Chain A
Amino acid sequence: MTKTLTLLLHRGPYESEYADLAVNFALKAKEKGYNVNLWLYGDGVWTSHVKRQKDYPNVGERLRKALKEGVNVKICARCAEARDLVKGDIIEGIPMVGLFDFTDWLEESDKVLTFMR
């Protein structure tokens, strides 16, 4: 049975390498055939806000690629609401859900990693 990896991203784009580490790790794990879940939490929700094309490499582009490759990405609805992040502001395909979606992921995962602070 295919193993499952869940990642939690707790930091926003540009402030540190964590957003890039999380998305790159997700992409590589997906490429190697694992089920991959990415939970955007706290300021990590801002990563989904980077949705326009840019002239330079950026984590939004990598996140869009991850979605296309089949990485499951979800945003914590409470964190998004607190930051007034709404559906139209963010990359398409990332649902805003409650914390129990994340605990479901924890339940089904073989390994869990945080990209933190």
Chain B
Amino acid sequence: MKTLIEVFRNTPPGKACLTLTKNVLDVVYGENIDYEIDKKTDITTKDFEVQMHPFPSRTAEERGIEGAPSICINRKLKAYGVISPEEIKDLIEKAKPIKIGIIITKTPNTNEDVENVLAIGEEALKAGNQVELFLLSDGVWVGKKGNVLTEKRLLNLINNGCKVKASRRHMKACGLNKEKLVEGINISDEPYDELVDLVMEKWEKVVIF
């Protein structure tokens, strides 16, 4: 999961804004690399995504940013002023991914639950978290191949690292088997056992729909 660093700068960026940018890029690239710190373009590396935003801006408002220069890490932690590379590394550590579990208990097409779960999953991954879905009860239908509402987005989530598990006994009850589900869904033979472990030990946050 990449760390997202959003840098908020005045227009045009003054000395402090540029120094902060340099410090961020020091952390992202390591030192001794040439780069243009006044450029507005976003940067993507193996471990980082850096976005430059003006202050004020819609993004600044969404993050609750009240001044520039400033940074926001993984949409979670904000810091103001000319922060040193060491402090930036410390903040990155504090803004680590959170393990979020989402249990789905309903079929996909009758209500907004599944749309919301897919959107939450997408946004949670974008924000650098780890997301797992557990399909329980009628929720197993969310994994069905060919469902126009869910298939593409679910496959996308799986490809982006979201783990999806489905309860075998509920699949059996519904007349489903692994071949009828999208690729990449794991089957749980002991859903209650596994779910208790996930809820109580593995997941830091859990929501149920």
Chains A and B touch each other in the complex, with CB atoms below 8 Å apart = yes
- On whether the beta carbons of A116 and B199 are closer than 8 Å, the reply is no
A116: which B residues are within 8 A, CB to CB? 105, 208
- B contact face: mostly helix, strand, loop, or mixed: helix
Is A43's CB within 8 Å of the partner chain B? no
With A21-B105, A21-B136 as known contacts, state yes or no: A32 contacts B208, CB within 8 Å: no
A18: which B residues are within 8 A, CB to CB? 105, 137
Is B91's CB within 8 Å of the partner chain A? no
Contact of B193 among A5, A17, A28 (CB under 8 A): A28
B103: which A residues are within 8 A, CB to CB? 113
Is A105's CB within 8 Å of the partner chain B? no
- On whether the beta carbons of A113 and B199 are closer than 8 Å, the reply is yes
Is B192's CB within 8 Å of the partner chain A? yes
Tally of contact residues, B, Cβ under 8 A: 14
* Cα A114 to Cα B199 with chains together (Å): 12
A29: which B residues are within 8 A, CB to CB? 196, 200
With A111-B206, A113-B208, A116-B208 as known contacts, state yes or no: A32 contacts B196, CB within 8 Å: yes
Instruction: State which residues 13-34 of A face B: CB under 8 Å.
Output: 17-18, 21, 24-25, 27-29, 32, 34
Tally of contact residues, A, Cβ under 8 A: 18
A-B contacts, 29 of them at CB < 8 A, read A3-B200, A5-B196, A5-B199, A5-B200, A17-B105, A17-B137, A17-B138, A18-B105, A21-B105, A21-B136, A21-B137, A24-B192, A25-B195, A28-B192, A28-B195, A28-B196, A29-B196, A29-B200, A32-B196, A34-B196, A34-B200, A110-B200, A111-B199, A111-B200, A111-B206, A113-B103, A115-B105, A116-B105, A116-B208
Binding site for B on A (CB under 8 A): 3, 5, 17-18, 21, 24-25, 27-29, 32, 34, 110-111, 113-116
